[in-house]
Structure 1
Amino acid sequence: MTDQTPPVPSSVLTAAGLVGGYAVARATGVRALGGVALAAAGVAAGRTWVRAGIPQTAALAATYVAAFGLSHPLAKKIGAWPSVLTVAAAAGAASHLLADRAVVRR
């Protein structure tokens, strides 16, 4: 593994943060613990985002927060787990396209 290649792609961390944050909150009944999991994964993903560039970092951080926010109204329409999985897939795909591919190319 080189210094350029992260051990875990940010797309995986992004999706895992959204899914894991919800799973922790649901399993424990403590929403704040879910928030801790969400934040920790976001910070870890952000380390790769920064390597891709400041504009990408800003866009992906906004996407991550927006995905979390949008999962709530979407859950009212399609259910909690389908909502979380949908936003996790979208945010993970964005992270792959804007950060992971750029970092691997360098």
Structure 2
Amino acid sequence: MALPTAPVAAGSLVGGYLVARETGVRPLGGAVLGVAGAWCTREWSRRAGAPVATALLATYLAGFGASHPLAKRIGAWPSVLTVAAVSGAASWALADRRG
């Protein structure tokens, strides 16, 4: 059975933040996001087609972008966990549950 994309998408948003925070090297956190995002996009495309993969990648990237202003309102960790949950749920709903 193929690895589900939902935990990778959600986990990489959390992991990317954690790597950037703990190392102080933001591009290193971005590398985590880039590698995981590329893998997820390939899998989304394979499992659900290019239009769904494009929508999920947009959700993933929008979550990353939205986490910054959201963090100013609710805090860093709640923000990261919120966007990770949204990205993971979308990945499961649109790609993973199809089998």
Give the TM-score range, shorter chain: over 0.9
Task: State the Cα distance separating 1:100 from its structure 2 match.
Answer: 0.6
Among candidates 78, 96, 99, match of residue 100 of structure 1: 96
Task: State the Cα distance separating 1:10 from its structure 2 match.
Answer: 0.6
Task: State the Cα distance separating 1:43 from its structure 2 match.
Answer: 1.3
* Aligned partners of 1:60 and 1:95 also within 8 Å: yes
Gaps of 5+ in 1: none
Distance 1:20 1:41 in 2: 10
Structure whose alpha-carbon radius of gyration is higher:
1
Among candidates 14, 19, 27, match of residue 22 of structure 2: 27
**Percent of aligned positions that are identical:** 62
Which secondary structure does the structure 1 equivalent of 2:85 belong to? helix
Structure 1 runs of 4+ with >3 Å offset = none
Task: State the Cα distance separating 1:47 from its structure 2 match.
Answer: 2.3
Please report the TM-score for the alignment, with normalisation by the length of structure 2. Answer: 0.95
Cα-Cα RMSD: 0.8
Aligned length: 98
* Aligned partners of 1:67 and 1:88 also within 8 Å: yes
1:60 pairs with 2:67: no
Aligned to 1:40: 35
Gaps of 5+ in 2: none
Please report the TM-score for the alignment, with normalisation by the length of structure 1. Answer: 0.89
Among candidates 60, 77, 81, match of residue 81 of structure 1: 77
